[in-house]
Amino acid sequence: MSITFKLDVLKPHQPNSPTLARALKQIEGVKYVNIRVEEIDQKTTSIIIFIRGNEGLLLDKIVEVLDGNNCALHSVDEVTIQDD
């Protein structure tokens, strides 16, 4: 079973997207991370994150990593759970 989240997130200019992607990839069970920049403002960057992991991947754990990188979850746009 795998779970995929599409998240709308506000990121400060630092850390950059590759650093944030590597941090998210290190969460246990995560197999895929994609970060796409949507809009760059003066102090923040709007990003869309796709993150896929196994059954145990919890939103709380993702938010914890986002918080640790000064990012704020704006909304969960999509979630998919499927058998392998």
The CA distance from 23 to 63, in Å, is 12
Classify 78 as helix, strand or coil.
strand
28 near its own copies, rule: CB under 8 A:
no
Q: Does 70 bind its own copies (CB under 8 A)?
A: no
Position 43 contacts its own copies (CB under 8 A): no
Contact 62, 5 (CB under 8 A): yes
Determine the Cα–Cα distance for residues 59 and 13; give it in Å rounded to an integer.
23
Binding test (CB under 8 A) with its own copies, winner from 25, 27, 44, 65: 25
Residues that bind its own copies (CB under 8 A): 1, 3, 5, 16-18, 21-22, 25, 31-37, 40, 58-59, 75-83
